[in-house]
Every structure is written in structure tokens, then in C-alpha cells.
Structure 1
């Protein structure tokens, strides 16, 4: 009984084995994040630039008559080019994300990427969708004017439904998926940093 009163709990606590985070696993997750982000960036670039080229080809080949069609084409291409330009500013951040050996630097770079992604997912995505929707609606006006009221309504209805579906369903899912990935990495690096500082 008397011996139990002299147990040093702090000493016992220090001696217990603590599972250290697996840095190799964490760095592998970081590398996978980087590869996925770069693949997404390049796919977005190729898709939007190819779409812009197709729109320009349609403009040249079909020679639209209404000024609204031409303004719609310009607005649509402008929306895509501005979005690609801002999105490409993440390229150097993605490339440099695993070029350091310091946990704190990893953490700072991930936080910077998260801030830039949030700007892209909120302000830039809003700009993109508003200008793109306006451009498409103006573009379709010339062709809708040749249709009956029911045909024009159906054409605009389907187009606007698709835009709204993207905005309210697909976009939030994609944003949440991206945020979850980067939040998970940031959380793991914060955990490692706090354990190393103890």
C-alpha cells in the first residue's frame, strides 16, 4: 500500500510508447494531392482553351448576324480566359508544395493554397458563372429568335437548368471535396508540428 503512494505518474507517462505520425505516409499523401491538383489544373486548361477555340471556330464558320451573338461569344470566351488565368496562378504553389523539408513550411504552403483555392471557388467561380451564363444567353438569342416561343423557352430552359444544376449541385460537391482534401493535409501537418514542439 505504501509503495503505491510513491508512483511517479509523470515519469510513467513519459516512458509510455507514443505512436509518432508516419511522415512517409504524410509525404506520400502530399505528393498525391500535388499530382491530383496539377492534373486538374491541366485538364481545366485544356478543356477551357479547347472550348474557346471551338467557339471561335463556330463564330468564323457560321458568321452570326446579331450583335448580341457576337457579344455573347466574347463574354463566354472572356469568362473562360479570366478563370484560366487566375487558376494558373496556383501552378507554382502546387509545384513547390513538396519542395521543402520543414513541416512548418509544408503547413504554410498548404494554408496559402487553401486561401487561393477559396478565392477561386468563391469570387472567381461566381464571376465565371455569371459572365458565362450571360454570354451563353446572349449567344443563344439569335437562334432562339428563329424558333417558336415554346422552342425558345425549351432551349433557354434546358440551358439555364444545366447552369443552375452545375452551380447548386456539382460546384458545391467539388468545392467540399477539394476543401476536405486540403483540410485533412493541413490537420495532419498541424498535428505533426505540435507533436514535434512538445
Structure 2
């Protein structure tokens, strides 16, 4: 029991070292590298998706205008999102950890704002165009199957989109936001201690 008391006193009495600025820059460099890799992967996957959609369009030769509009909307949503998403690439490369501390903090805050714009407005536009595009695209093909199965096809599609919008998107957004918030908070702690 006495040992527990001594350990508790030692634990509560210990002082922690403030995070060093080099460690902070190293953490940010890892975040930056991961974001760039994610951007490249997203570009590859979305361009492959566009190519697959175009292949399906030429292979199945849709007859209804709704199918063609759906394909166009889906591709437009992907292209618009990619356009804004790719604007992060030069910005991420421009952020330099060797800049002055205030410039670095401003750059990280600006990156956070750009990510917030992408994660709110641009993702909304992307999901809206994707949802309408898929629904219009499916219309021609669900006409060929019995009524209960056509409802099932739409239901599964909308449930999958809803799962992505209400479950996966918030998790990814929170994870990215928390990383940048952590960098900003650590930087402010270091700044306040100096």
C-alpha cells in the first residue's frame, strides 16, 4: 500500500517535457506525406472510375436519355471534386517546416480551412451529383427487372450512399481535423511556453 502511495505521488508530481518544435515539424511532415499519398491514390481511383463508367456506357449502349444524363452527372461530380481536391497538392508542397513559426502556423490553419471546404461544400456537391447520377443511370436497367427487385436495387444503392455519407465521411473528416488540430494545439503550447 505504501508503494502505491509513493508511485501515485511520483506520477502526479512528475513534470512532462513540452513537445519540441522538431517533433512537431516531423509529425506535420508525416501528415503532409500521407495527405499527398491519399491525394494521388484518390486521383488514380477516381480516374479509373471515370474510365470504367465510360467503358460501361460504350459496352452496354444505353438507350434512354436518363441513363446518359446519369452518366454525365456522375462523371461531372467526380471531375468537379477532383478539380478542387487537386488544389491541395501545390499547397501541401508549398508548406515548409523551415519557415518562421508564425508562417508555419498560418499555413497549417489555412490547410485546415481548405480541408474544411473540401469536406463540407465539395463533398456535398459530389454526393448530390453522385446520388442523382446513379439514380438516373439505374432507371433504364431497373425497368427491365420485376418491380420489387427494382425497389431493392434503389434501396441498396441509397443505403450504400447513406452509409458513406453518414458513417464513413464523418469519421474521415474527424480524423483529418483532429490531426491538424493536434498540430495547431501543440504549436500553441510550445509558443505559450517560450
C-alpha deviation, 1:19, in angstroms: 3.8
Do the aligned partners of 1:87 and 1:120 also contact (CA within 8 Å) in 2? yes
> Where does residue 143 of structure 1 map in the other structure?
141
Farther-moved stretch of structure 1 (96-105 vs 150-159): 96-105
Q: After TM superposition, list the pairs within 5 Å mapping 1:53-132 onto structure 2.
A: 53-132=51-130
> Where does residue 192 of structure 2 map in the other structure?
194
Runs of 4+ residues over 4 Å off in structure 1: none
Rounded Cα–Cα distance in structure 2 between residues aligned with 1:144 and 1:20: 61
Rounded Cα–Cα distance in structure 2 between residues aligned with 1:95 and 1:104: 18
Pairwise CA RMSD of aligned residues?
1.5
Rounded Cα–Cα distance in structure 1 between residues aligned with 2:154 and 2:175: 30
C-alpha deviation, 1:163, in angstroms: 0.3
C-alpha deviation, 1:27, in angstroms: 1.4
Q: Which residue, out of 24, 42, 59, partners 2:22?
A: 24
> Where does residue 178 of structure 1 map in the other structure?
176
Unpaired runs of at least 5, structure 2: 1-14
User: What's the TM-score once normalised by structure 2's chain length?
Assistant: 0.89
C-alpha deviation, 1:24, in angstroms: 2.1
> Where does residue 133 of structure 1 map in the other structure?
131
Task: Count matched residues.
Answer: 180
